[in-house]
Amino acid sequence: MRSRSIYKSPAEMRAMLEPGRITAAALSAVRDAIRPGVTTLELDAIAEGVIRDAGAEPNFALEPGYRHTICASVNDDVVHGIPTDRPLEAGDILSIDCGALFEGWNGDAAFTVVLPDDGQESRVRSRSRLSAVTEGSLWAGIAALASAKHLGAVGEAIEAAVDARGQYGIVEGYAGHGIGRAMHEEPSVFNYAVRGRGAAIKPGLVVAIEPMVTAGSSDTVVRDDEWTVATSDGSDAAHWEHSVAVHAHGVWVLTAPDGGRAGLAPFGVVPTPLA
């Protein structure tokens, strides 16, 4: 059997615009609702409502054994946190990961936010910096995708961006991925430099890039719920993700409302809409 190419046609990439847009809308609605006292189960319901109202399906709920729309990872949770009825607290650092399946195509994106806490300004500042470092490394990775010839350059750019900002850990057990008809496809997109150049970056490549960065050790454990990935030393973690298409005229960030214009501007990269 011939394996499916990792490179998509222009029409296939255009079909990924809508699930990307819906994923972004769900995350935006969740972000607007985040405040102390809200539970991550309530945020889950908000995301599910946006996705279903758009005629799409929460693709996380299609993963065997998982029934929620979002993953919500609080404080020392890195990724894959299950929504709970624990109210969010001032000062929490929270990552929300979400995706939509629309007409057979997937979107996948994540952001991190720190809840304000007047009594704990230094903790809020360090957590906000951790999130900013992680987000910055995501955009550095996307900028590398826009200009490099091989996927290995993305991980190199992410690692360099994190290392330039101080003593942070890059989680190595989990990686970004190709995305399309399945949420997780080949190739893997590592968040650090690896041996070998990796797959060729050329029109048709669509990948979810998702750095996971910690304020301490990069080692992780899986909690007793058998989903939640947490730092082994209890240090804070952040996670940012976008689904990005490489096409004949440049890159387009499918899960960013502006296609990545603002995030890529510091790198001198201008995203080009899919034609």
**Terminal Cα distance for the chain, rounded:** 32
- Is position 159 an interface residue for Mg ion (rule: CB under 5 A)? no
- Is position 22 an interface residue for Mg ion (rule: CB under 5 A)? no
- Is position 140 an interface residue for Mg ion (rule: CB under 5 A)? no
Distance CA 100, CA 15 (A): 13
Q: Which residue in the set 57, 92, 97, 236 belongs to the binding site for Mg ion (CB under 5 A)? A: 97
- Is position 108 an interface residue for Mg ion (rule: CB under 5 A)? yes
- Least distance (Å) from Mg ion to the CB of residue 122? 30
Q: Which is nearer to Mg ion, 124 or 140 (CB)?
A: 140
3-state secondary structure 44-59: HHHHHHHHHHCCCEEC
Q: Which is nearer to Mg ion, 168 or 174 (CB)?
A: 174
- Least distance (Å) from Mg ion to the CB of residue 67? 16
- Is position 185 an interface residue for Mg ion (rule: CB under 5 A)? no
Those residues whose C-beta lies under 8 Å from the C-beta of residue 85, and which sit 6 or more positions away, are: 39, 41
- Least distance (Å) from Mg ion to the CB of residue 192? 16
Run of H or E residues at 191: none
Q: Which is nearer to Mg ion, 97 or 236 (CB)?
A: 97
Q: Which is nearer to Mg ion, 110 or 158 (CB)?
A: 110
Those residues whose C-beta lies under 8 Å from the C-beta of residue 52, and which sit 6 or more positions away, are: 58
- Least distance (Å) from Mg ion to the CB of residue 72? 12
- Is position 212 an interface residue for Mg ion (rule: CB under 5 A)? no
- Is position 77 an interface residue for Mg ion (rule: CB under 5 A)? no
- Least distance (Å) from Mg ion to the CB of residue 178? 10
Q: Which residue in the set 142, 208, 238, 264 belongs to the binding site for Mg ion (CB under 5 A)? A: 208
152 CB neighbour count, 10 Å cutoff: 20
Write out the binding residues for Mg ion, residues 236-255 only, by CB under 5 A.
Answer: 241
Of 58, 20, 27, 51, nearest in space to 253 by CA: 20
> Tokens representing 271?
């995203």
**Contacts to Mg ion by CB under 5 A:** 97, 108, 110, 208, 241
